[in-house]
Structure 1
Amino acid sequence: MKYVFYLFMLFSSSVAAKPALVIDILSNENFSERYSAFLNGRDVLSITDFTANTDGSHLEIVEMILLQQALYLGGETRPVEFRAQPWAANTEFDALIDGTSLMLARSMWHEDILNYRGSLYVSDAVIEFGQYEAGLYVSADNLQAQQLQLSQLNKLTVVVNPRWHVDWRALINTPMSAISYIGPWEEMLAMVKANVVDAMMINFSVGANLDLNYEGHLFTPIKNVKVVLPDTRHFVVSKNHPQGKKVAQALVKGLKVLRQRGIINKAFQQSGFINQQVKDWQVVNQQMIVTKQ
């Protein structure tokens, strides 16, 4: 891996002199502050250790890094500039379809992009089937919910946006009661904090207790149970953007290199997205997990 590091450092100054490649992020999921804190002055192309330096979910941060490394390894050497966009779930596809947006800095569920494949270049799976696991996060002061056993989960109410098709499908295949709410992620978490609902499905946080601290409010997962979100996740690039084809080709090539070198799985494991602490926890929707014979 050392030669990769030196190669990145050798070209970092020339990359900085080139015009930026603009890639969009959602403003309500703007991880730029924590992303900058994670880099801590390091060249993004030199990152080989993805160990989290703060608690919380680091999936979005890791994907922002992997995306840039893949593009570079695929021959797209322009530096990336992240542009925050205040999109709703449906309009992000509109912008990709009409070419207003080149691509998003996060992966997307395959199920969600099926109807748009004619307008999008779709990468190989970044997150493979069965890798995306979520905890049932409850307010830290909701001791009753925290003490529920697997056999008692039918008493649990879980808020979910029905437009999040994979989340919805996973939840309705559990004994728990799905509470439909169409609104921002932050508002759903506020419902959990206020005990309007018991829980929310969130990919596991980094930290000794897997706790999530959001704006001073503490949430914790119900121990020994988890939900698998049954789909794959992919980067997508607009076919109607003038740079789309070139960027998509570089992305596919670079992701293949990262996958062959084991960097993608390493990044997800070190960052806590693939979390060893929950390896033996019971999958609540086990019947949805199809194993290859």
Structure 2
Amino acid sequence: MIVAVATTKNAIKKYDNLPESAKTVPLCNKNLPSEIKSRCIASLMILKNALKLGGINAQLNFLETPNVRREEDEIVKGYAVISSHLFSKSTIDQPKYKDKIYVSDPVIKDGEFEKGIFCLPGNHKIRNVRTIEELRKAGKPLIGIHWTNECEILNELGIKKIEKGPTTDSLFRMIKAGRADWIPFGFHNSKDLSVKRSGITLVPVKGLKFTLNESRHFLVSKDHPDGEKIFKALQEGIKQMRSKGLIKKLLTQGGYYCKTTRDWKILNSKEALVKN
């Protein structure tokens, strides 16, 4: 079955670059393809695998969007049947979407998605930060224009001056141009935990991270003719993958759960917020 998936240019490129062996479903949690190593690919493979387990052998037909928020728009309009990225609960829990979208069961539960503080390698003022107070004084953060949960967390940490950009590529360019000093990014599976985009490399501040306190979900269009069928298959597949521990393994391999940063200090933990 051809399944219309709204996603970004970057995700399409990464998926197309996968060998055919890595695209095969259903996946086995004992031997996951090593090429599944980024968050966008992990979520796409969770989607494809869940549909397979739910009874749909999906041939993904991508509808390219300039950013993740536009994925949501394409779903609401019924041009695509499902999103490839995962959306936070507050982003989609709005009256205007209530009759337009199905929301999957949580793929990432509350507090499971962790982000680090990423900056240019030469920005030692940011890289030397060790406390919330030092972070407030060290420089300005930069987030995507629709990163509502990240904005709330930064405000909770006492950080009020926040720069915003429209796309991930633009965020990297803005940091390079000195428009801001750091970006809250999820961790990747590179050896040094660095992230690269448009020829620009960012590195994390070692020892620090924070958690996003919202669950993350796939969106399915109610206005698309295949919407109800896709949603039912997705829900069944997510349930099976959860019971087998496969979702956690895919998310870990994709960088949502990073073993290297497991013991890093959580800046927005109750203990840290009390001290500051």
TM-score under structure 1 length normalisation:
0.83
The CA deviation at 1:189 is 1.8
Between the aligned partners of 1:88 and 1:33, the Cα distance in structure 2 is: 15
- Aligned positions, number: 266
Give the aligned partner of residue 40 of structure 2.
60
Alignment-mate amino acid for residue 133 of structure 1: E
Aligned residue among 25, 37, 50 for 1:45: 25
Between the aligned partners of 2:268 and 2:257, the Cα distance in structure 1 is: 18
Between the aligned partners of 1:188 and 1:172, the Cα distance in structure 2 is: 19
For the residue of structure 1 that corresponds to 2:93, the secondary structure is: helix
Aligned residue among 55, 64, 81 for 1:75: 55
Larger Rg: 1
Give the aligned partner of residue 219 of structure 1.
202
Gap change, CA 1:51 and 1:136, over 3 Å in 2: farther
Residue 250 of structure 2 corresponds to residue 270 of structure 1: no
Give the aligned partner of residue 119 of structure 1.
100
The CA deviation at 1:50 is 4.2
Q: Over residues 127-162 of structure 1, what are the superposed CA-to-partner deviations in whole Å (9 max), with x where a residue is unaligned?
A: 111111111100012122211221411213211245
CA RMSD of aligned residues (A): 2.3
Which residues in structure 2 correspond to 1:1-293 (within 5 Å)?
A: 19-27=1-9, 30-39=10-19, 41-48=21-28, 49-50=31-32, 52-53=34-35, 58-86=38-66, 89=69, 91-115=70-94, 116-150=97-131, 151-156=133-138, 157-287=140-270
The CA deviation at 1:21 is 1.8
Identical aligned residues as a percent: 24
The CA deviation at 1:121 is 1.0
Gap change, CA 1:228 and 1:152, over 3 Å in 2: same
The CA deviation at 1:185 is 2.1
Q: Which runs of 5+ in 2 are unaligned?
A: none
More displaced 10-residue stretch of structure 1: 251-260 or 215-224:
215-224
Q: Over residues 176-211 of structure 1, what are the superposed CA-to-partner deviations in whole Å (9 max), with x where a residue is unaligned?
A: 454232422222222222333110000012122211
For the residue of structure 2 that corresponds to 1:181, the secondary structure is: strand
Between the aligned partners of 1:130 and 1:88, the Cα distance in structure 2 is: 21
Give the aligned partner of residue 12 of structure 1.
none
TM-score under structure 2 length normalisation:
0.87
Q: Which runs of 5+ in 1 are unaligned?
A: 1-18
